[in-house]
A = this chain, B = another copy of it.
Amino acid sequence: MGSGETEGALIRLRAWLANRPADADKRLPPERELARMLGVSRGTLRKALAVLEAEGTIWRHVGRGTFVGDRPVEPLLDLSDVIRRTSPAHVMEARFLLEPELARLAALNGTAADLDELRLCLRQSRLAPDWRSYEYWDNRLHRGIAQATGNTVLLALLDGLDTIRRAIAWGRLRRGPQRPPPDHHSFAEHEAVVAAIAERDPQAAATAMRRHLASVRARLFAALGLEPVPGSESGSAIDAGTKRVLEDVVPTLPGVRA
């Protein structure tokens, strides 16, 4: 196979690549120029470049150039498309899935600085002069919990969920001159979550978060005119698979911080 000049070009190319300063530009000269520099034809150089690309040393893109290192990541997420075919119920389901576990991991991994941030959010949300301001601090609180897990991936996931949530038409949006009433259900629920995190009680934190989300969901569905979620307040009826739940959930979510 690769006999003759192609192999020579590959060797010369590797040597040229090795002899360049470490702080050199990630971008290589254009093929035409590089071919002239190495004393090879462009076609031959391209074969050598193809080898380097196959082994992951470089990556190329039409119109951009040839670069050394890993190919950059492109988002690939078409948010506006997701938003069009999603519903508030979907968002609530995702929140139920994510946020209790975030609270749980926050109780395990949260730092003192994280807790300061959470307490700040609690205080400010009580002082909020209008709904818009309240929602800012509410949002910042939930994000702070994700931050307290110490896991940037989880934080990114919650951020993604947030952008979707914020973009959905929530029917009535309660903006106005009024302010949240002092006995707004979220206040006590938020404080319960933060208290459990502060006491390093993971189960209690997750439980408190579930209670909070159940409350939010009930209000949301009521506002949308839907029927309440079946079994959301019963809490009875321990089925046969319960023991498996214990064996699964407890050991496999250790919450190690890497």
Contact = CB atoms under 8 A, between A and B. Distances in A.
Interface of A: 56, 70, 72-73, 75-77, 79-80, 82-83, 85-91, 93-94, 96-98, 100-101, 105, 151-157, 159-161, 163-164, 166-167, 169, 173, 175, 203-204, 206-207, 210, 213-214, 229-235, 237-239, 241-242, 244-256, 258
Given A70-B169, A77-B160, A87-B258, 20 more contacts: A56-B173, A73-B167, A75-B79, A77-B159, A77-B163, A82-B156, A86-B152, A90-B153, A90-B154, A90-B258, A94-B154, A97-B154, A156-B164, A160-B160, A204-B241, A207-B248, A230-B256, A238-B246, A239-B250, A245-B246
A245 B238 contact: no
A170 to B, nearest CB: 11
* Closest 5 A/B residue pairs (Cβ): A89-B258, A203-B241, A73-B167, A94-B153, A87-B258
B93 A256 contact: yes
Given A73-B79, A151-B90, A248 B100 contact: yes
B80 A77 contact: no
A105 to B, nearest CB: 8
B97 A98 contact: yes
Nearest to A159: B77
B251 A159 contact: no
B97 A210 contact: no
Contacts of A254: 229-232
Contacts of A230: 254, 256
A81 to B, nearest CB: 9
A155 B79 CA distance: 11
A201 to B, nearest CB: 8
A204 B163 CA distance: 32
B152 A161 contact: no
A155 to B, nearest CB: 8
